[in-house]
Amino acid sequence: MRKLLNTLYVTTPEAYLSKDGLNVVVSVDKEELFRIPIMNLESIVTFGYIGASPGLMKLCMDNNVSLSFMTTQGRFICRMQGSTRGNVLLRKKQYSLTDDTTVSLHLSKLFITGKIFNTRCILQRYIRDNGPDQDVETVIKQLDWRKKQVLRVESIDILRGEEGYAANNYYDVFDHLILNQKEDFPFNGRNRQPPKDEVNAMLSFVYTLIANDVVAALESVGLDPYVGFMHTLRPGRISLALDMMEELRAYLGDRLVLSMINRRQITKKDFIKQSDESVIMTDDCRKEMLNTWQKRKKEMIEHPYLKEKIPIGLLPYAQAMLMARYLREDLDDYPVFLMR
């Protein structure tokens, strides 16, 4: 298993990135604030950037360090990468299988079954830790039924519909999982672009972080993150990454958001209401989320299929590696990630 390297998150809007030898240098108004050797990094993600020097970009590309640019609120702008890596035969196999409706439907069922299983697991843990809750228990039963329906569907369009129903069921009781600061963090369902409340702002932000990590993981094993099996192909859309992050959203994203609210790491004052009724995070809120995200990625778990202890941050890589093995026919099936 590969080593978990660092991701450098640059949250200062006025920051400029440059290189000095084999070091990444972060400066504001030409005053150096921070530097780190490129060999210690796996990726760089900047928020509200002023820019990056061509030399820094080349340094990243030469060392296989991805460089992503986001808005200050975490919406993706662009991502730079060097020469395409990986086995061209693997990508050729990937492209051919995406045109195979049987394989695409099978993998799509696995992605969504994993997503439903993991959201159900989060609700079950809530019941276990906090006692009976009729609304949540009803949704658990609904998710059980949806999971069985997913395994029976005969087209991806119907599967997408079942996935949508399951997501709505889950989000209908998501506010029950907010145990502290309930009045300050109301949640009435998932919304985005732009998020209309604090919880949705946090969810959108952390989902963007997960997507970025899944893209990097897929590229590292030689797969094309833009060619998927369930999400439709569109120019610039990371379809395979969106497919594979379905099984990881609840475990990596939802748990982080709920934990930060319930532990009062984030409060109402960390958000700003805009004139269009959207909600954005303050710089301090974003930094706190990134710090917690980085700490979370260093926690160790035993991978349910590999039976190895790995940092949580390597979950996207582990799943990407297993997908590559499946496409190469080294595995009989793709072992979707299921929470314990």
pLDDT tens for 108-132 read 999 999 999 999 999 999 999 999 9
H/E element holding 272? strand 271-273
Instruction: Determine the pLDDT at residue 147.
Output: 93
pTM: 0.85
CA–CA dist 220, 321 (Å, integer): 9
If you average pLDDT over residues 179-196, what whole number do you get? 91
Delimit the CATH 3.100.10.20 region(s) of the chain.
6-80
Mean of the per-residue pLDDT values of the chain: 90
Q: Which CATH code fits 88-327?
A: 1.20.120.920
Query: Does residue 14 surpass a pLDDT of 90?
Result: no
Helices (H), 188-333: 198-220, 239-245, 255-262, 283-297, 315-327
At residue 97 the predicted structure's pLDDT band, cuts being 50, 70 and 90, is: very high
Helices (H), the chain: 54-62, 88-98, 101-130, 134-152, 156-172, 198-220, 239-245, 255-262, 283-297, 315-327
Delimit the CATH 1.20.120.920 region(s) of the chain.
88-327
* CATH number belonging to the domain at 6-80, selected among 3.20.20.20, 3.100.10.20, 3.30.2290.10, 3.30.70.260: 3.100.10.20
Provide the 3-class DSSP secondary structure of residue 332. Answer: coil
Q: Please, are residues 247 and 39 in contact by the beta-carbon 8 Å criterion?
A: no
If you average pLDDT over residues 22-27, what whole number do you get? 92
Exposure b/e, 258-278, CB count within 10 A at least 16 = b: bebbbeeebeeebbeeeeeeb
